Amino acid sequence: MRRLRTVFFGSSAFAVPSLTAAAREHDVVAVYTQADKPAGRGLRLTPTPVKVAAQTAGLPVFTPEKLDPQFSASVAARKPDVLIAASYGKILPRDLLSVPALAALNIHPSLLPAYRGATPIQAALRDGLTTTGLTIIWMSPQMDAGDIALAERVSIAPDDDFQTLHDRLAQIGAELLVRALSELARGSLARVPQDPSAATYTRPITKEETRLRLDDAPSAANLVRALSPRPAAWLELGGRRIKVLRARAEDVKQPTGAPGSVLSLEGDGPLIACAAGALRLLRVVPEGKPPMSGAEFARSLR
């Protein structure tokens, strides 16, 4: 199989398996990622997971400040056959998409045109879906609107949270990318236009949206899954903020308290009243404390 000259754009951990797969099967001539950012309590400058992976693999890696025409010209000078983007964090400009000889491809963790945008994995979990997917698209100037090259449906398990689903989709994305590049090299990669009337959109999650509303238990449990382990959904109990990493919705025909009140401290975690049903807290992070099981937390409340 012909080895393609590849330029890779990516930043988060989601992109790392795809970068590794591309470097194994083809010639990655440059990797572009976001600049180091402050992280942790000490706000230490920290490289992106893609930068770490590229440096470990001995690949040339760069952190451009601007994706301007001069930058596009510098990418063109590398004479790439294909440009790949996965969770880069910036929209690639139109002139850059025309640089590669064969294609500019994007790896997106949903079944497009559903869940375009920044948070498709979280949105699928929040909405209680039982299936999602992975799509490779030919990039266009509009966000996640390009023609579909390949897509694969992926089941969501009842106990999946953001981390487990993210990691599974990242691996499937890498496998699908290898297949797409193989078909691209043979000149047989499909181009199927998306149906714009079926498009739905996601956006970055705000701090306010991480608070558990407790309107109904299943929706609260789904939000916990969507935000675990980071940034984590939270609620207040006894004046303390409690991050919830795992929870279970339970039927309670007649809650004996207002939403947010503790109905029981028995079993495998506190049972919290919702307007409809109740939420069992199974793993939590109390303010100023390490993560603990729901049963341990219940004992501390007693």
* Contact predicate 278/271, CB 8 Å: yes
184 pLDDT band, cuts 50/70/90, is: very high
101: Cβ contacts below 8 Å, ≥ 6 apart: 79, 80, 81, 82
Which string of b and e fits 67-102 if b means at least 16 CB within 10 Å?
beeebbeebeeeebbbbbbbbbeeebeebbbebbeb
Q: What is the mean pLDDT of residues 74-93?
A: 97
Q: What is the mean pLDDT of residues 259-276?
A: 94
Measuring CA to CA, how many Å separate 136 from each of 144, 155, 243?
A: 10, 18, 35
89: Cβ contacts below 8 Å, ≥ 6 apart: 11, 12, 34
Task: Tell if the pTM clears 0.75, that is, is over it.
Answer: yes
| Higher-pLDDT residue of 257, 139 | 139
Q: Is the pLDDT of residue 148 over 90?
A: yes
pLDDT, residue 253, reads: 74
Q: Nearest Cα to 210, choosing from 232, 241, 236?
A: 232
CATH topology of domain 208-301: Methionyl-tRNA Fmet Formyltransferase; Chain A, domain 2 (3.10.25)
Distance from C-alpha of 114 to C-alpha of 132, rounded to nearest angstrom? 9
| Domain 5-202: top CATH class | alpha beta
CB-count burial class (<10 Å; 0-12, 13-18, 19+) for 302 = exposed
pLDDT, residue 42, reads: 79
Distance from C-alpha of 286 to C-alpha of 234, rounded to nearest angstrom? 10
pLDDT, residue 69, reads: 96
Same-fold call for 5-202 versus 208-301? no
| Higher-pLDDT residue of 246, 301 | 246
Q: 223-236: per-residue pLDDT in tens?
A: 999 999 999 999 99
231: Cβ contacts below 8 Å, ≥ 6 apart: 205, 207, 210
Angle at 83 between CA 82 and CA 85, to 5 degrees: 145
Domain boundaries, the chain: 5-202, 208-301
11 pLDDT band, cuts 50/70/90, is: very high
Q: Is the pLDDT of residue 255 over 70?
A: no
Q: What percent of the chain has pLDDT over 90?
A: 93
252 pLDDT band, cuts 50/70/90, is: confident
Give all strands of the β-sheet with 61-62 in edge-to-edge order.
61-62, 27-32, 5-10, 82-86, 103-108, 131-138, 148-155
| Higher-pLDDT residue of 1, 139 | 139
162 pLDDT band, cuts 50/70/90, is: very high
Angle at 125 between CA 120 and CA 131, to 5 degrees: 85
Q: Is the pLDDT of residue 7 over 70?
A: yes
Q: What is the mean pLDDT of residues 31-40?
A: 92
